[in-house]
Chains A and B, each alone.
Chain A
Amino acid sequence: MANDILLKIEGLRASVEDKEILKGVDLTIRKGEIHAVMGPNGAGKSTLSAVLAGKPQFTVTAGSIEFLGQDLLAMSPEERAWAGIFLSFQYPVEIPGVTITNFMKTAVNSHRTGKGLEPLKAGDFLKLMREKMAFVQMKPEFAKREVNVGFSGGEKKRNEIFQMAMLDPTLAILDETDSGLDVDALRIVANGVNALHTPEKAAIVITHYQRLLDYIVPDVVHVLKDGKIVKTAGRELVAEIEEKGYDNL
């Protein structure tokens, strides 16, 4: 059904510093679906996630992206976030001097202002923070830490999923969330993502390896190679890739 469509990417081409990375991507995602985008290094996986989130350094040269019927490419990164898009970064950025509490308070209240709501009361905000931190097994003292500064790889990724839980997006894009994670952290992160998933939402899981997809089971699997989606199938494609590699598809 057409009204089930959450995201529709058509003929998307994007460049960075005049180098074309995405060379015509088509992708449709419906409510309730989890899509995996797999591919070798340099295929354009991270570019796709950056373009969806609106990173200014990337230039879209052709094509369109519709998110819940809105023209995503006409929106700023913050407007995309308010509309329900969340990107979990492959390399979460350190922000010295800004505590997680202050960062998230600003983020949550920006979302509320963007939707015409009053800022959250301080007590309600702290309660929400505590609840969501516990959800990804982050210790409460992290609230006072500077964003990602001195965090281990696993702590950074848990912080991403904590932020995702706080902002409750409709479309979550997980860019190489498994990189740098040991198996325990991987499980915490995957459980978090699975628990946040509902039939009204969708997720794009971008990954090089099968590992994460053992925990977050995709409905649809795409292979991105040299800026194009070269193959789309069900979850059985994951095992095929693991067996044959990307070169023999």
Chain B
Amino acid sequence: MTEVIIVSDGQLVRNIEVQSGDRKDMVLLVYPGVSCDVKLDVRLVGEGAEANIYGAYVCGGEEKVKIAVDMHHDLPHCNSRQLFKGIAGGTSKVDFYGKIIVAQDAQRTEAYQENHNLLLTDGAKVDTKPQLEIYADDVKCSHGATIGRLNEEEQFYMRSRGITLEDARVLQMISFIAPVLENIPEEEREAVALKFEEAVRNI
């Protein structure tokens, strides 16, 4: 069962342990206007445990969004995936810190982490620090982080087909966030997608 958390103002601290053979799926959503300090500590404590943590954030004003994830692989054969995507406009500030720690015993670990950001204004600021600490030798791990701008070639292509600049930007931002929203259970997904569409339209 995927846990969908709509993050509100302030601090959110979660310590999660995933037992052998269990799986934890979580989607964090940060809507415009929310300033938050999220600390997740995920520990895979049984062989074959799995954790998938996703997050999306949209900030268009003066928000401060801070997200820190520690993903501990203590035992063999555990899998984890993290995907965080966000949009920063206005004078908002995003801080992402993500660490994967693979203990010496945690052979055959598969752990992936990605954080991708769109920067809409010169006033917005994104800091992203992906970290890997690996003490085992038989593992598959990767991390990646990007900070980019809306692609102007895409915008011109869409506008040349009659799509307004405003709609083109909305399409670009929705498609950017979509890979995170896909992990929300189907019955909740459409409502969330609509809320994000409204959020990016007014950004």
Contacts and interface: CB of A to CB of B under 8 A. Distances in A.
A93 B168 CA distance: 13
A89 B157 CA distance: 8
B171 A81 contact: no
Interface of A: 53-57, 76-78, 80-82, 86-87, 89, 92-93, 95-98, 102-104, 106-108, 110-111, 114, 163, 167
B142 interface: no
Contacts, number: 75
Which residue among B159, B162, B172 has the maximum number of chain A CB atoms within 10 Å of its CB?
B162
Given A98-B171, A98-B175, A87 B160 contact: yes
The prevalent SS among residues of B at the interface is helix
Contacts of B137: none
14 contacts: A54-B160, A55-B156, A77-B156, A81-B161, A92-B157, A95-B154, A97-B174, A97-B176, A97-B179, A98-B175, A107-B162, A107-B163, A110-B161, A110-B162
The 6 closest A-B pairs by CB, nearest first: A97-B175, A81-B162, A77-B159, A93-B157, A107-B161, A111-B162
B175 A110 contact: no
A141 B154 CA distance: 23
Given A97-B174, A97-B176, A110-B161, 5 more contacts: A56-B156, A93-B153, A95-B157, A95-B172, A97-B175
Contact of B163 (A53, A80, A86, A106): A106
Which residue among B152, B163, B165 has the maximum number of chain A CB atoms within 10 Å of its CB?
B163
Which residue among B153, B154, B160, B163 has the maximum number of chain A CB atoms within 10 Å of its CB?
B160
B121 interface: no
Contact of A81 (B154, B160, B167, B172): B160
Interface in B116-143: none
A130 B157 CA distance: 22
Contact of B152 (A56, A92, A104): A56
Nearest to A55: B156
The prevalent SS among residues of A at the interface is helix
B158 A107 contact: yes
**Interface residue tally of chain B, by bracket?**
20 to 34
Given A56-B152, A93-B154, A114 B171 contact: no
A76 B165 CA distance: 9
Interface of B: 152-154, 156-165, 167, 171-172, 174-176, 178-179
A69 B91 CA distance: 44
A162 B58 CA distance: 35
A90 to B, nearest CB: 12
B171 A102 contact: yes
A89 B176 CA distance: 24
Nearest to B175: A97
B149 to A, nearest CB: 14
B165 A78 contact: yes
A238 to B, nearest CB: 27
Contact of A110 (B163, B174, B176): B163
A77 B152 contact: no
A53 B171 contact: no
A95 B154 CA distance: 6
A110 B164 contact: yes
Nearest to A115: B162
A104 to B, nearest CB: 8
A107 B161 CA distance: 6
B156 A106 contact: no
Nearest to A96: B175
Contacts of B175: 95-98
